[in-house]
């Protein structure tokens, strides 16, 4: 396990399922976006054990994976992805990611402008080329961080892809830790 403290926070290289049990640190907000349909919902309890009192988890899932989450979320948020022309056989194409939101105790909930507080998000990745195949739009990550964590609180991304969440945390003065395979 190697740790790279860098200007955007702390990035640890390795498998989060091996690293998290050894970590003593706890977090106020965990944004978990594992690879789809990969059985990572099994790691819910491990990830939840890294929460501070009053902490929160935002867990990205495909609609059918919702049934595999061991705990009922407080609310389901929806990220409606841009349409894809890719062919698909014998199945409907899914244009959405669900975000299962778990909030414990006296959790942080900072209201933004009213038009940003709907539970269906339609943010898009704005670049000429994606940095990471599954990266989430930076504006989506920004809303989630601003609403669910206060400045100086600690944010964990156990399944890191791009630097988007790290960048958002740096911009908005939240402490970021990411785990990256």
Ligand X SMILES: C[S@@+](CC[C@H](N)C(=O)[O-])C[C@H]1O[C@@H](n2cnc3c(N)ncnc32)[C@H](O)[C@@H]1O
**Residue 53: φ, ψ to 5°:** -55, 145
If one asks whether residue 162 binds ligand X (CB under 6 A), the answer comes out as yes
Q: State the minimum distance, in angstroms, from the CB of residue 20 to ligand X.
A: 9
If one asks whether residue 104 binds ligand X (CB under 6 A), the answer comes out as no
Helices (H), the chain: 16-19, 44-48, 138-148, 164-171
If one asks whether residue 33 binds ligand X (CB under 6 A), the answer comes out as yes
Is the distance from CB of 102 to CB of 73 less than 8 angstroms?
yes
If one asks whether residue 63 binds ligand X (CB under 6 A), the answer comes out as no
If one asks whether residue 118 binds ligand X (CB under 6 A), the answer comes out as no
Site of tokens 């990256």 = 180
Q: Pairing between strand 175-180 and 9-13?
A: parallel
From 11-19, 49-57, 61-69, 168-176, span contacting ligand X (CB under 6 A): 11-19
From 12-20, 51-59, 82-90, 91-99, span contacting ligand X (CB under 6 A): 12-20
If one asks whether residue 3 binds ligand X (CB under 6 A), the answer comes out as no
Site of tokens 């992805």 = 81
């Amino acid at each position: 396990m190697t740790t790279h403290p860098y200007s955007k926070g702390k990035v640890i290289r390795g498998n989060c399922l091996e690293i998290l049990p050894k970590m003593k640190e706890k977090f106020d907000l965990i944004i978990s976006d594992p690879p789809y349909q990969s059985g990572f919902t099994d790691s819910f309890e491990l990830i939840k054990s890294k929460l501070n009192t009053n902490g929160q988890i935002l867990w990205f899932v495909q609609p059918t994976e919702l049934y595999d989450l061991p705990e009922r979320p407080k609310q389901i948020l929806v990220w409606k992805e841009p349409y894809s022309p890719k062919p698909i056989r014998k199945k409907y194409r899914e244009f959405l990611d669900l975000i299962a939101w778990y909030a414990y105790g006296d959790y942080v909930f900072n209201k933004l402008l009213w038009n940003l507080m709907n539970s269906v998000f339609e943010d898009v990745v704005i670049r000429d080329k994606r940095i990471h195949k599954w990266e989430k739009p930076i504006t989506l990550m920004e809303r989630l961080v601003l609403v669910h964590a206060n400045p100086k609180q600690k944010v964990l991304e156990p399944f890191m892809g791009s630097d988007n969440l790290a960048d958002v945390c740096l911009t908005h003065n939240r402490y970021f830790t990411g785990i990256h395979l």
